[in-house]
């Protein structure tokens, strides 16, 4: 699709620059102000497995730049485009925070970054998935489980999913949100995403799933990348996608694009590194 890919690339670069230059810790934002691309604040503790990936500057200050999710006690799932060119030494991982400036959550250092070898540097080509192995396990937080193969019926087009993150609250936004926000987004049929007036060939159903209202208004945005797309709640909560890209944010006819975690190549990469959960999650209460 003419004009699409360059704009995505430009957006990614812009997001990376802007978010890394502005420490979120200094940006609480007025309470009750209009936030998001259609989201609302999340109750503390609702998504304890949510991860803020932060760049550590020379002064030791840390700035949020991408989301992620705890999928095992030493593994963080995120997007490949978040980690390209990053080294473990330049990063820290905060697990279980809600308001970033509050300084809560468990801080860990990456031991190792694993980017899907099929990722070629362009999220619109697919394979936008990566894992971070932590130098020490996270304690007392139940990881989120990628949706099970036998649960395919739980993420059909038309079903409502939830995207969560600290990303900017409008397409023109420059500052990460201090509060964790969530937006409800309907899962789109693949044919709606590959339509010529949507993403055309830049949407690859083998590696991607689309979610967002056709009329726009609710979406992930810059800084949400790497974070989870979720279905269900309590013991049935599952991750079905990873925030990857979009044309702008919340625009009509251009729902958000997520790495397809439920099946296919993206899932195979995750399964090749992360051990399956030991239990079925029944100890977690709704
Ligand atoms: N690539 C963006 C990031 O790095 C996320 C874009 C998601 N955009 C969207 N419209 N759903 O944070």
pLDDT tens digits along 203-215? 999 999 999 999 9
Q: What is the pLDDT of residues 69-125, one digit of tens each?
A: 999 999 999 999 999 999 999 999 999 999 999 999 999 999 999 999 999 999 999
CA 226 to chain CA centroid, nearest Å: 3
Question: In terms of pLDDT, which residue wins out, 173 or 107?
Answer: 107
Residue 99 confidence (pLDDT): 95
User: Of 180, 182, 183, 205, which Cα lies nearest the Cα of 192?
Assistant: 205
Mean pLDDT within 158-177: 94
Q: Domain map of the chain by residue range? A: 5-28+48-143, 146-262
Residue 3 confidence (pLDDT): 35
Question: In terms of pLDDT, which residue wins out, 135 or 175?
Answer: 135
Quote the CA–CA distance of 66 and 48 in Å, as a whole number. 16
Quote the CA–CA distance of 66 and 244 in Å, as a whole number. 11
Give me the sign of the Cα torsion angle 25, 27, 32, 38.
negative
Residue 34 confidence (pLDDT): 31
Residue 284 confidence (pLDDT): 45
Q: Is the Cβ atom of 247 under 6 angstroms away from ligand 1? A: no
Q: Active site includes 225? A: yes
- Which among 11, 52, 69, 81 is annotated as catalytic? 81
Residue 278 confidence (pLDDT): 62
pLDDT band at 277 (very low <50, low <70, confident <90, very high): confident
Residue 11 Cα to ligand 1 midpoint, Å, equals: 8
Q: Is the Cβ atom of 68 under 6 angstroms away from ligand 1? A: no
Query: Would you tell me which CATH number, out of the four given (3.30.465.10, 3.40.47.10, 2.40.10.10, 3.30.420.40), belongs to the domain 5-28+48-143?
Result: 2.40.10.10
Quote the CA–CA distance of 204 and 195 in Å, as a whole number. 11
Q: Within 10 Å of residue 268's Cβ, how many Cβ atoms?
A: 12
Q: Active site includes 64? A: no
* Averaged pLDDT of the chain: 87
pLDDT band at 279 (very low <50, low <70, confident <90, very high): low
Q: With 60 as the cut, is the pLDDT of residue 269 above it?
A: yes
Residue 59, Cβ density class (10 Å: 0-12 exposed, 13-18 middle, ≥19 buried): exposed
Residue 130 confidence (pLDDT): 98
The residue length of the chain stands at 286
Residue 106 Cα to ligand 1 midpoint, Å, equals: 25
Mean pLDDT within 160-177: 94
Report which ligand 1 atom has the smallest distance to the Cα of 82.
4
Mean pLDDT within 51-63: 92
- Protein residue with its CA nearest to atom 9 in ligand 1: 246
Q: What is the 3-state secondary structure (H, E, C) of the chain?
A: CCCHHHHHHHHHHHHHHHHHHCCHHHCCCCCCCCCCCCCEECCCCCCCCEEEEEEECCCCCEEEEEEEEEEECCEEEECHHHHCCCCHHHEEEEECCCEHHHCCCEEECEEEEEECCCCCCCHHHCCCCEEEEECCCCCCCCCCEECCHHHHHHHCCCCEEEEEECCCCCCCCCCCCCECEEEEEEECCHHHHHCCCCCHHHCCCCCEEEECCCCCCCCCCCCCCCCEEEECCHHHCEEEEEEEECCCCCCCCCCEEEEECCCHHHHHHHHHHCCCCCCCCCCCCC
240 vs 152, 172, 250, CA distance in Å? 10, 27, 20
Give me the torsion for CA of 149, 153, 156, 162, rounded to 10°: -70
Equal fold, 5-28+48-143 vs 146-262: yes
Could you tell which of 9, 86, 128, 225 is best to mutate to test the pocket of ligand 1, judged by most ligand atoms within 8 Å of the CB? Answer: 225
Residue 142 Cα to ligand 1 midpoint, Å, equals: 26
Residue 221 Cα to ligand 1 midpoint, Å, equals: 4
pLDDT band at 58 (very low <50, low <70, confident <90, very high): confident
Q: Is the Cβ atom of 167 under 6 angstroms away from ligand 1? A: yes
pLDDT band at 276 (very low <50, low <70, confident <90, very high): confident
Of the chain, the end-to-end C-alpha distance in Å amounts to 43
Residue 122 confidence (pLDDT): 98
Q: Active site includes 135? A: no
Residue 275 confidence (pLDDT): 82
Share of residues in the chain with pLDDT > 90 (%): 80
What's the topology of domain 146-262?
Thrombin, subunit H (2.40.10)
């Amino acid at each position: 699709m003419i004009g699409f890919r360059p704009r995505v690339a430009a957006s990614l670069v812009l997001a990376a620059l802007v978010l890394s230059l502005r420490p979120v810790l200094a940006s609480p934002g007025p309470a009750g102000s209009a936030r998001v691309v259609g989201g609302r604040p999340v109750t503390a503790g609702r998504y304890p497995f949510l991860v803020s990936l932060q760049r550590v500057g020379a002064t030791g200050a840390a700035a949020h730049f991408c989301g992620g999710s705890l999928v095992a006690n030493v593994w963080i799932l995120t997007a490949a485009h978040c980690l390209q060119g990053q080294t473990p030494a330049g990063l820290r991982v905060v697990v279980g925070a809600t308001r970033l400036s509050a300084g809560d959550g468990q801080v860990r250092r990456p031991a190792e970054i694993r980017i899907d070898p099929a990722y070629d540097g362009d999220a619109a080509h697919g394979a936008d998935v990566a894992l971070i192995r932590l130098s020490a396990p996270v304690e007392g937080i139940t990881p989120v489980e990628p949706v099970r193969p036998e649960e395919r019926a739980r993420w059909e087009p038309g079903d409502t999913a939830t995207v969560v993150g600290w990303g900017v609250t409008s397409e023109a936004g420059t500052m990460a949100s201090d509060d964790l926000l969530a937006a409800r987004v309907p899962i789109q049929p693949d044919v709606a995403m590959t339509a010529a007036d949507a993403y055309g060939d830049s949407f690859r159903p083998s590696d991607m799933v689309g979610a967002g209202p056709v009329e726009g208004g609710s979406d992930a945005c810059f800084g949400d990348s790497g974070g989870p797309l979720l279905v269900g709640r309590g013991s049935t909560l599952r991750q079905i996608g990873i925030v990857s890209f979009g044309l702008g944010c919340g625009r009509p006819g251009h729902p958000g694009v997520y790495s397809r975690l439920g099946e296919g190549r993206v899932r195979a990469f995750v399964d090749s590194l992360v051990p399956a959960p030991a239990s079925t999650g029944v100890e977690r209460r709704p």
